[in-house]
Amino acid sequence: MHGPLDTHNRNTERFTLRPFRRRDVEPLHAAVVESFDELHEWLPWANKRYSRLDATNFVKDSTRAWKEGRAYDFAIRADGAPDNHVGNMSIWFTSRAFRTGEVGYWINSSVTSRGVATETARRILEVGFDEMHMHRIILRIAVGNAPSERVAIKLGFTKEGVLREELKVRDQWLDHSVWGLLEREYRQHLNRTPTEAN
Ligand SMILES: CC(C)(COP(=O)(O)OP(=O)(O)OC[C@H]1O[C@@H](n2cnc3c(N)ncnc32)[C@H](O)[C@@H]1OP(=O)(O)O)[C@@H](O)C(=O)NCCC(=O)NCCS
């Protein structure tokens, strides 16, 4: 891949994934506040003081990172409700030389357990493998985060190991499990029926 990703919308059956815009600050802030109880359990940036300024800075950094090709943050929107922030789906290279990347995500607590992460992460994997030509993509999931592990399993990832005390959340060191998906496994997984993949 040469230069940054194209900024066009990526669609799934129920959602649109698109780059962040300045007017996303309010809905992003509202979604983080609404989802605080679930987010702060696993994500270091999600603290009680998360402010509009944090959301503004996130959108600014995200726009800059996209232009520089450092990382691609997608805002998830439901078709028919363009002003509600459903969640974030992000992808970035960890090594361009070896075409390896990482995906990160969170979903608004008001719509969890309805397959949103699985559906939209599947679309971001398509971006990673088809547009960014990645060879391998990882997820890092805090040990104990059962919903996120379930997402990894549904997408065909393999649990590869545990990084001890890699992350500090709420003043506690957490272990991170590393989950990997190779391009050939992704292609094989796509050929399976949804029932077999579950
Ligand atoms: C993890 C997260 C992204 C999942 O999003 P989601 O849209 O609810 O995901 P999905 O609906 O696609 O899948 C969630 C799965 O976890 C299951 N699940 C939910 N709560 C669970 C629990 N407490 N224990 C075990 N499984 C659980 C759901 O039933 C579903 O599995 P199923 O389809 O087999 O029934 C969301 O909960 C979240 O944003 N959490 C906080 C931030 C976070 O952890 N981000 C990920 C960091 S790696």
CATH for the 10-197 domain, from 3.40.630.40, 3.40.630.30, 3.40.50.300, 1.10.287.610:
3.40.630.30
- The DSSP bridge partners found for residue 78 are 15, 81
Max CA-CA distance within the chain? 45
Residue-by-residue pLDDT tens, the chain, 198 positions: 668 999 999 999 999 999 999 999 999 999 999 999 999 999 999 988 899 999 999 999 999 999 999 999 999 999 899 899 999 999 999 999 999 999 999 999 999 999 999 999 999 999 999 999 999 999 999 999 999 999 999 999 999 999 999 999 989 999 999 999 999 999 998 776 455 544
Probe residue for ligand 1, chosen from 150, 154, 155 as the CB with the greatest number of ligand atoms within 8 Å: 150
Residue ID of nearest Cα to ligand 1 atom 16: 147
pTM (2 d.p.)? 0.95
